[in-house]
Amino acid sequence: MKLLVVVLAAVSLCASEDIPQVPGDNSHYVEGVSRYIWMPDGEGAQHLVDLHEPVDESVLDERNGALNEYWLFTRRNSNNRQLIRHGDVNTIRNSNYNGGRPLMVIVHGWNNNGHSGLNALIRDAYLAVADANVIVVDWRNHANSPYNTAVRAVPSVGQHLGDFVGWLLSNGGGNWNNVHLVGFSLGAHVVGNAGRRGGGRASRITGLDPAGPQWGRNNNALRGSDGQYVEAIHTDGGYLGIMDPIGNANFYPNGGRNRQPGCSNSACSHGRANYLFASSIRTNHFNGRRCNNLSQAQNNQCTGANLRMGNSILNKRGSGLYGLRTGSNWPF
């Protein structure tokens, strides 16, 4: 009898849930309501995520971020990483790190790693326009956990990153005014926590379609006080990305949501933020117009003052909501 009750309960649960059947189709999803959502990994494969799945506490502790790896790229080693180990000064001395140059840090999202395409895309764009230090953060040990577990790991990963940047500047030279932290999806919230750990001193933080599921009203989410200037580029708001204006400046290209031009699903729209940002570094041609409210931004009705979206300018400043239109193919 007990077994029958369990079976009937499971059948009832399945019948009451809108479980999407088409990989990548998130048209069913309602933020804060839906239980399931499709999420892509670093190779573009779709995974059905259960947002009610219990967190795996066994892999979480205050030292989650101690497993981060930090890969240095410069114009002298643009394709071959140099591993810098936090606490080992010799790894700085034996690398091409130069404290007199800007420092850009790139952080991937869920089910990605340091080899994921977004890192090379942004790294190469930045090194094309600036003689700089680029650090790619590999936090795969927790990024490749079930989604809810990875969400819980974000604060520690970010705090350890913030400590690493402070240590690198102290031992290798440089200062926070030359630091630009960039993160995609969950990585956007990682760099928010890193900036917070650094006392909000980073000159600039860019969140590329900051992750949405589990991040509404989350105190660990990216926010405007995490750096001297914090911007968010929203491209899949309400699905994989957050729609809320969480930075100082918030850009909503093509309404900030699915479907972005040339995209057929939210996974493509989510990842479009990376391509728009990389293009903006190389060309700085995206002109945002200030919006009076979020509704104007979502409906491409913004006609106010101008602010460029993205680019590599370290001392960039601005605030407000901005809308703009882009093309469907590179350079958009």
3-state secondary structure of 280: helix
311 in a structural domain:
yes
* Mean pLDDT, residues 84-96 taken together: 98
Residue 6: per-residue pLDDT: 32
The reply to whether 151 falls in a domain is yes
Q: Range with the lowest mean pLDDT among 1-10, 13-22, 233-242, 303-312?
A: 1-10
One-letter amino acid of 144: N
pLDDT, tens digit, 9 for 90 and up, residues 270-294: 999 999 999 999 999 999 999 999 9
The verdict on residue 114 lying in a domain is yes
In this predicted model, what pLDDT tens digit does every residue of 44-56 receive, in sequence order?
899 999 999 999 9
- Asked if pLDDT for residue 78 goes beyond 90, the answer is yes
pLDDT tier, 9 (very low <50, low <70, confident <90, very high otherwise): very low
Please report which confidence band the pLDDT of residue 4 belongs to, taking 50, 70 and 90 as the band edges: very low
Q: Residue 125 falls within a domain, yes or no? A: yes
pLDDT in tens, 182-228: 999 999 999 999 999 999 999 999 999 999 999 999 999 999 999 99
* Contact between residue 42 and residue 112 where contact means Cβ atoms under 8 Å apart: yes
How many whole angstroms separate alpha carbon 306 and alpha carbon 282? 19
- For residues 163 and 248, give the distance between their C-alpha atoms in angstroms, rounded to a whole number: 24
Question: Looking at the predicted structure, is the pLDDT value of residue 3 above 50?
Answer: no
- Tell me whether residue 313 is in a domain: yes
**Which residues does the annotation mark as catalytic?**
185, 209, 270
In degrees rounded to 5, what are phi and psi of residue 8? -65, -35
Taking the CA of residue 47 as centre, how many other CA atoms within 13 Å lie in the half-sphere pointing to its CB?
Answer: 16
Q: How much is the pLDDT for 297?
A: 97
> Is 61 domain-assigned?
no
Q: Write down the pLDDT at residue 64.
A: 75
DSSP 5-41: HHHHHHHHHHHHS----STT--TT--TTT-SEEEEE-
Strand partners, 69: 138
- Listing DSSP states for 226-277 in one string gives GSSSEEEE-SSBTTTB--S--SSEEEEEGGGSSPPTT-SSHHHHHHHHHHHH
**Mean pLDDT rounded to a whole number for the chain:** 93
Q: For residue 78, give both structure tokens.
A: 């643009």
43 pLDDT higher than 90 = no
The CATH code of the domain that includes 263 is 3.40.50.1820
pLDDT the model gives residue 17? 58
Domain count along the chain: 1
Q: Which of the pair, 61 or 173, is modelled with greater confidence?
A: 173
Residue 62: pLDDT over 70: no
CA proximity to 44, closest of 148, 118, 142: 118
Q: What is the CA radius of gyration of the chain?
A: 20
Span 110-133, mean pLDDT?
Answer: 97
Residue 65: band (very low, low, confident or very high) from pLDDT cuts 50, 70, 90? confident
What pLDDT score does 8 carry?
A: 33
DSSP-assigned beta bridge partners for residue 135: 72, 105
Among 327, 326, 329, 328, residue whose Cα is nearest residue 309: 326
Residue 97: which domain range?
A: 71-324
The reported pLDDT for the residue numbered 11 is 36
Residue 2 forms part of a structural domain: no
Q: How much is the pLDDT for 307?
A: 98
Q: Does residue 305 sit within a domain? A: yes
Q: How far is CA 18 from CA 12, 26, 31, 33, 240, in A?
A: 12, 11, 13, 11, 17
pLDDT for 14 beyond 60: no
Average pLDDT estimate for 96-100: 98
